[in-house]
Chain A
């Protein structure tokens, strides 16, 4: 058996591949290397947009849709936290809501992960969580027309008409920005159709990296001001806002895991090419 055939036999065992991957992920988490993280132009564009007072004035209202469950927390929560930090520093007022049943729990986890970001902020005046709103796209359409007309109470049972933040910003025209942090694909289209198209409310998308290609057309068409995709964008944004979080902490592990998968692909192709050439040689 040649060396290449031995390598193929060894690497064909799934268990070995999985073990190598576990090591590549866990070791950098325990012993961080501190690999450099560059800032992509797209993430910088999002940051600059929010920093621009003419686009998102200090004290303006921002709606944030939390549409992800626990599995997608690792990619989306760091994005939302970094965005929240930047918005709270501008004294923006944040209205959170969710059109997915797991939203309230995701918001609970969000609050637990970022107590420093929420520090000094008063519920009802600086931020509000409307809870789970059933109805998907029709709920989103109805919220654009009137929040108090769609949701009688917030997640904690307070009447929305009694919350100063909601009274100030009761429809789409009152919002400087809508952030959609979603692990799905449909949610983005709902807001494009129900908030951007009729009211031209600026939209910002936070998505999983695998979803990015399918929402790219919205950004290119100008229907969204920008997008953050995956942990990489989250890490870049954390660097920009100056809050080290899960995004940056995960980048070393992500880099090594990606590198290992690249090695698997390249070795797999070397083995494949060798096998093909040796079969051709045998035929001759």
Chain B
């Protein structure tokens, strides 16, 4: 009974939904069937939203559990860090409860807006900005010409980077059209097979899900 509930029923649900989604994506089947499918489709989408929200709550509890455990270890740096995370989490939950109980939509609540604008947004922008530093260290450390294709890659990269900047304009006005050509022709040609290969990989993964050969999502292998 345990195996039926934990493996067979989820597998049957997944198989049925995959088949229905494929059929209704490709075909229109009478308006009554279509309406019924749309109703179920909307219901499924709503259930997905609910599951995602519940999973976020589980995630929040998981984070709290981890940091409570970590703070018990009494390492000074860890206690400080875990303490901040736990306090922030409690504050967020408190703001959400206040907003819900007073009937205000959470994103428009002033405190959330303040937290987002003055704490989250600058931190987000700062983390994104860190990328330029990592690109600099990666380009010194890792961008080495070990073979002829790497040399070709380096030359093309230099042409594109110079074409992207005003420094390139100073050197030669022809760099911009060269950059445009590289981005439009060889670059697109290189990306298209990767995209196609991805599509085939996803189709075959779908086949494995359909046939019950892909079970890691259930948390166990065959």
Beyond A42-B180, A252-B166, whether A268 also contacts B139 by CB under 8 A is: yes
Which of A55-63, A120-128, A212-220 participates in binding chain B? A212-220
Closest residue of A by beta carbon distance from B122 = A70
Q: What residues of chain B lie closer than 8 Å to A1, measured between beta carbons?
A: none
Interface string of B123-164 (1 = CB under 8 A from A): 011011000110111011101110000000010011001101
Residues in B with CB closer than 8 Å to A37 are 166, 169
Answer yes or no: B116 CB below 8 A from chain A CBs.
yes
Interface SS of chain A: helix, strand, loop or mixed? helix
Q: Known interface pairs A220-B188, A258-B161. Does A212 touch B145 (Cβ–Cβ under 8 Å)? A: no
B6 at interface, CB cutoff 8 A:
no
> Do residues B158 and A261 form an inter-chain contact, with CB atoms below 8 A?
no
> How many residues of chain B have a CB within 8 Å of chain A?
48
B199 to chain A, nearest CB (A): 12
Residues of B within 8 A of A73 (CB): 125
> Taking chain B's interface residues, is the majority helix, strand, or loop, or is none over half, making it mixed?
helix
Which of A14-22, A164-172, A194-202 is the contact stretch?
A14-22
Give CA–CA (A49, B154) in the complex, Å.
35
Tell me whether B176 and A35 are in contact (CB under 8 A): no
If A71-B127, A268-B144, A269-B145 touch, whether A217 touches B167 (CB-CB below 8 Å) is: no
Task: Say if the beta carbon of A262 comes within 8 Å of chain B.
Answer: yes
Q: Which of B127, B165, B191 contacts A259 (CB 8 A)?
A: B165
Interface bits B157-200 vs A (CB < 8 Å: 1, else 0) = 11001101111011001001101100110011011100100000
A interface residues (Cβ-Cβ under 8 A, vs B) = 11-12, 14, 17-18, 21, 25, 35-38, 40-42, 69-74, 101, 104-105, 132, 134-135, 138, 209, 212-214, 216-217, 220, 230, 232, 251-252, 254-262, 264-265, 267-269, 272-273
